[in-house]
Structure 1
């Protein structure tokens, strides 16, 4: 008997009654990829289609396979080789498909990473602009308040100057009247008539703060009064907008 496919070889027997010998692994005695019959040390060229065994020339001439249908080894293994090549092509196609999917998905991931990076920059830019705008408005508001402070101090000084001048005038008149009270009766009557007309002049009390300044202060007060609520509402709306559908 010759050798069986799939890597196991049986010694070819010249007599049918010697079939009781154990099978052995074929021994590669020749060049690479060539298998030799272990019994005859001959290269295997044939394939017994009846017994599905590989045979050397001596095995083929033996009585065990003499009447069997024969074929050359290359022809016998061709279907297996073609099958492996077909499977290899299938695997290559599958590998290429997987590589294409991997490349496409990697491009998607890179695109998403680029998108997130772009959105991070947009967020930073948006908040920087917000900080800048809030800072500008804060500086503008504080500048207006400092301007009002300066105007208040200016009108205060003007008011004090006017009132002090009026007080000085009144005090001068008081001292003058004290002196007149010490004069003789005839002169006193005449002085009373003169000073009566002078005292009838009404003292005009100047306003400490002008109506224009009071209007500006009131307008600023109204704007600042609702500022905390505006900031709170903006902050709450921003938090609600950013947390909506965030998945956290």
Structure 2
């Protein structure tokens, strides 16, 4: 396999010194990351090899498929060695959190080009800060759940009142028309029909609102449960998923606001 036949430096780009990403092959047989060589050649008339200074005849050199496959195999073999607290790229213990990229990193990641001029803090500080953010988000969701439950109860009561009111009105109409049944059969039937149609429409609208609120309660319950589970995870695993969790919270909040205004 690649990791048993070669050392890590065999898979490192001479420009960025990281593992090759989409390597291209120059006519002089030297390889570079596609983005690295294009960055070196930017605004240059002569397209020279950064290693041997040989001029390249191709502004867009071909991809070195063999090297790319070796790099992918090399990185795949390294991944099983990495746990939640170990960098999957450099196999170093993760001790830092990149505030710009919102992801846990090792000291080698910090010094790489990818994180140039980025801000960092210790993992434990990042965990504490993000848990505070999630705690506030969780409290807001729990409060929203309480409101939704109360709203559902009120809607259910209103739906019951509509039905009772319709039944009372129907009885009243029947009583009023008893003495005039012989003369007003057609009028009685027309009014009862209109009443029942109105009842059906209003009950249907109320049913739709109840179903919508029930779905909202279900969504809030699931989101709250997922956040609570996320709060229990290990530091690094927590940080690796916190960005997606916060984005999900924002999405749910926007959806809730939209439902309130509708």
TM-score clears 0.5: no
User: Larger Rg: 1 or 2?
Assistant: 1
TM-score, with length taken from structure 2: 0.33
Larger RCO (CA under 8 A, 6+ residues apart):
2
